[in-house]
Chain A
Amino acid sequence: MSTGDRNPQLSNTGTMQIAWFETVRIASRPTVGGKGASLGELTHAGIRVPPGFVVTTHAFESSLAALDAAGAIRREIAALDGKDLDRITETARSIRERIESAPLPSPLQLAITEAHAKLCGGNALAPVAVRSSATSEDSAEASFAGQQETLLWVRGADAVLKALRSCWASLYSVESVSYRMRLTLEESRVAMGVVIQRMVDSRASGVMFTRSPTSGDPSVISIEGSWGLGSAIVSGEVTPDRFVVSKVTGEVVRRDLSEKLTEHLPAPCGQGIHAAAIPPERQSVSCLADSEITGLVDLAKRVELHYGAAQDIEWAVARDGAIYLLQSRPETVWSSRDVKPVAAPKANPFDHVLAALSGKTRS
């Protein structure tokens, strides 16, 4: 990904513990994680991303150092026997408890609280999302990221700090630890950025791919969406509506509406989200208007053009109709396949016809 290298002076977040999206580029990935880097890169590119900042790996490192100056935690993990699941479970649990219960170093806590206040712009209880942003390699990220925490509709500075610690702690889930051991990843390099960004009160949300996930067709955008917050789709609790749209003509080539029974909404208690039943009159209605589909297609094309590679995008449509990008990462399944030509030129153009009608090239 060379696009992020264009402004090295900007992408260098140095040893900053907090990096606003505006200052982050793809090249900042080692300190802000993949998610944070992409959100910063696209904010800079003029894509509408909910505003936010990243609590960098330096913050994680300083916090960990304050908690465990001698580096015992990492040694403990490194010393584990990969086959001893009981031991792993117990060690991981105790590390998580330590991380979750320990207060942050005061300067860091102050910096985050201030940044949070700035982000919330006067409404201290404005809902935010607190999302783990892994620093692992692209190929591993998909499976790795799934094991890490994302907390939605987090309100108030205290809740944010708690959510931040939960994200960090999720690095020491049994799954994460086992995974690292299996891949023999060096424990000293394990770190995490955490994205803190304004929450979109989504009327509808979902994912989209800038090529067909089923056929690999690079000429279509495949959109999946449902009512409410995107977590219902990502977790597989709802069968989304599916739209296949031509990048070239903008026509909706396929439109499969599903029966959508559940949506994720802000929890009535004011903190977090909950699953709610969708009333019958909205179940079979398309979650997207055609104008919104057009807006999403434009967004997808811009992001793909920006990166010069197929993308897998999470999006949301706010209740006021504004479209937001929540995440974008490179598509890996089809992009990693060998590109074989469909056909090659022939001596005479009509040789194509002769070949097709010869009975030899039937597929």
Chain B
Amino acid sequence: MAADTSKRPFPMPSEIEPVPGTEGWEDMYPYFTRVRPEDDQRFWFYNSMHFPEPMPAFDSVTAEVPYTAMGAYTTRVFAFPTALGIDYRIINGRVYITANAVSDPQEIERRLKVFQERAPHYFQNWNTLFDGWKQRMLKLIEHIDAIKVPELGDFDDASVVTEARGVATNHFVREAFHRTIEAFSTMWHHHFEFLMLGYGAYLVFFQFCKKAFPEIADQTVARMVAGIDVLMFRPDDELKRLAKLAVELGIDGNFVEGASPEKILSSMRKLGDKGARWLKELEKSRHPWFNIATGDGFYHHHRSWNDDLSVPFSALPRYVRLVKEGDKLERPTERLKVERGRITAEYRALLKTDEDRGAFDQMLALCHLVFPYVEDHKFYCEQWFTTRFFSKVREFGGLLARFGQIEESEDIFHLQHFEVDQALVDVMIAWAAGSQARGGPHWKPIIQRRKEILEKLKDWNAPAAIGPMPDSIEDPAVQMLWGITSETLNSWSRVPDAKDANEIRGYAASAGVVEGIARVLTSPNDIGQVREGDILVCAVTNPSWAPIFGKILAAVSDIGGTMSHAAIVAREYGMPAVVGTGQATKRIRTGQRVRVDGSRGVVTLLD
């Protein structure tokens, strides 16, 4: 990324003003995330796709660990010739990133040799390795679930003596916490094991299509690439199955709008054999399919359906009603397959030469090979494992609360994991010494202060990018993952003119035009508020939102590209979607009338 310092459309990192009333915010994060003067030399952009909110202290581990793993794979394991890893900084609670590139031709050549030796192993054995990957992930999830947070009772367990263990239980406090963090790190290493190679396959196909068909919509290329039977639709399919079963058994009377999960479950228990059968099927669905988070898995408050049944249960009344109206609630899988086949065949037929058709077939086949991993890994990693991880950390929070270090278990998320380490050692000492842990007076004011700071940081209008603007963005990974191209940069840096006053622009993710009333969701936990016929406006969506896509007319998101979840699901449901607007949740109010043009990527405010 060559920098032209004469253009200054974005502020320098060092010029960013602190948000009033947030003094000391830096202490929430490790020293290595802080901005230093030399950072003004580089171009950074706000990773709003993964981190749309200010980071609670503990949650910054979801930047630290993934970037540790991602860079390891690109820089050291596969030795991508031109791309190293990602550096990140936290500014006013937001994660800014920059991609490190290799420009020295000799160094590229040296790396290329290693890359060419290593990458083929994964492509050649993709499916076998992916099967092994799934087994490893299931074991890892079992592993984190099995980690025991020591209870530290009055006297240690007798077995320490009878089995002559020679290690008292307080030893395992820190050990178990470290294993929890290590499991998280292992997960992220697994996460990136295949991912960058998978994106590479997408990338070459996108580049080919853009050359052969310069005016093809990104979403159309995405439609040719996308798999149809992917895990992300499974949780929603399970809900439909449960709705159908309830109707079939004639026990659907409890599914009324607004009924709490507790109420539904307790009435089911009173319904004899039929109720028992439904509850048994519910358990089957819950494990594993309800291990899906209400967010993208980068924040502790993105709980899973299993943690909070009100999210999946809020979709049931509507499904029950539809079943009774004769709807089979089937995804139009066959129709989608036929349509994907038609589109692919027609574009292929438009190619002019046999060489082109041969290359097209190879590239597309490669995309279809990698697609299941690229799409399904999210369920295993960001959804299933991550929600289990945060639940485990919560258990450590319970321990700290019992020892008076913090008020309640949830407060642990306002401490860095390095600080949790200290607090746990404090507990270990206190238990051993038979005295009081000293952390209460130390941590409680800090946590209180950090909660205030986070509240204030929420209002900060984070610039989309900072630092000297590059002439162009060439990193394929940046283009692919974040949907950021030179064009995007220009639109970010442009001063909006009058015509833009009632328009919001983003990626045309799913075609069609529709007008309706906006429903702005600021937290994933509010998805129960969505009503039939709303236009969903949100920061980012993820697989667990699939049930509400049946209710809404269109989807608009702040974050995401044409391969983002919102885009994929919207295309599946055949509804207009504009993603990656950067600002929809800030500029649109709930109740406002808007027009969503998913073909052009424009949202128009109509009042």
Q: Which A residues are within 8 Å of any B CB, using their own CB?
A: 212, 215-220, 244, 246-249, 251-255, 290, 339, 341-346, 348-350, 352-359, 362
Contacts and interface: CB of A to CB of B under 8 A. Distances in A.
B108 interface: yes
Given A251-B511, A341-B356, A354-B120, A349 B363 contact: yes
Given A353-B204, A353-B366, A343 B356 contact: yes
B217 A349 contact: no
Nearest to B353: A341
Given A343-B356, A345-B358, A357-B80, A219 B366 contact: no
Interface string B406-441: 000000000000000000000000000000000000
B359 to A, nearest CB: 4
Contacts of B346: 247-248
B104 to A, nearest CB: 10
Nearest to B103: A359
B350 A219 contact: yes
A358 B81 contact: yes
Given A219-B213, A219-B215, A353-B200, 16 more contacts: A217-B213, A218-B213, A218-B352, A220-B213, A249-B511, A251-B599, A254-B600, A339-B353, A342-B211, A343-B208, A343-B360, A349-B362, A353-B201, A355-B204, A356-B203, A358-B115
Contacts of A215: 214-215
B251 interface: no
B207 A356 contact: yes
A17 B200 CA distance: 65
Given A353-B200, A356-B207, A348 B216 contact: no
B355 interface: yes
Interface of B: 80-83, 102, 108, 112, 115-116, 119-120, 123-124, 197, 200-201, 203-204, 207-208, 211-217, 220, 223, 342-343, 346-347, 350-353, 355-356, 358-363, 365-366, 474, 476, 511, 513, 599-600
Contacts of A362: 474
Given A341-B353, A344-B358, A248 B347 contact: yes
B102 A253 contact: no
Contacts of B365: 349
- Classify the interface of chain B: helix, strand, loop or mixed: helix
A357 B119 CA distance: 11
A7 to B, nearest CB: 28
B366 A349 contact: yes
A217 B214 contact: yes
A352 B115 contact: no
A255 B598 CA distance: 12
Contacts of A246: 216-217, 220
A350 B215 contact: no
A212 B212 CA distance: 12
A253 B216 CA distance: 7
B82 to A, nearest CB: 4
A359 B217 CA distance: 26
A254 B215 contact: yes
- The 4 A-B residue pairs with the shortest CB-CB distance, nearest first, are A345-B358, A350-B123, A343-B359, A341-B355
Contacts of A345: 355, 358-359, 361-362
A283 to B, nearest CB: 15
A249 B343 contact: yes
Contact of B81 (A249, A252, A350, A357): A357
A296 B29 CA distance: 59
30 contacts: A217-B213, A217-B214, A219-B347, A248-B347, A249-B343, A253-B217, A254-B600, A341-B352, A341-B356, A341-B359, A343-B208, A343-B211, A343-B356, A343-B359, A343-B360, A345-B355, A348-B124, A350-B201, A350-B366, A352-B362, A353-B200, A353-B201, A354-B115, A356-B476, A357-B80, A357-B81, A357-B83, A357-B200, A359-B81, A359-B82
A246 B599 CA distance: 11
B600 A255 contact: yes
B220 A251 contact: yes
A348 B123 contact: yes
A255 B208 CA distance: 24
A344 B355 contact: yes
A251 B217 CA distance: 9
B343 A356 contact: no
Nearest to B107: A359
B343 A342 contact: no
A345 B358 CA distance: 5
Contacts of B204: 352-353, 355-356
A356 B200 contact: yes
Contacts of B353: 339, 341
A212 B214 CA distance: 9
A343 B119 contact: no
B352 A339 contact: yes
A348 B204 CA distance: 14
B204 to A, nearest CB: 5
A252 B599 contact: yes
Contacts of A251: 217, 220, 511, 599
Contacts of A357: 80-83, 115, 200, 476
Contacts of A255: 599-600
Contacts of B212: 342
A92 B343 CA distance: 56
B359 A352 contact: yes
A318 to B, nearest CB: 25
A254 B365 CA distance: 29
Contacts of A341: 352-353, 355-356, 359
Q: Which of A212, A345, A348 has the most CB of B within 10 A?
A: A345
B510 to A, nearest CB: 10
A218 B211 CA distance: 11
B115 A248 contact: no
Contact of A353 (B119, B216, B513, B600): B119
Contacts of A355: 204
Given A217-B214, A217-B216, A359-B102, A353 B197 contact: yes
Contacts of B208: 342-343, 352
A215 B214 CA distance: 6
A358 B362 CA distance: 18
B80 to A, nearest CB: 6
Contacts of B363: 343, 349, 352
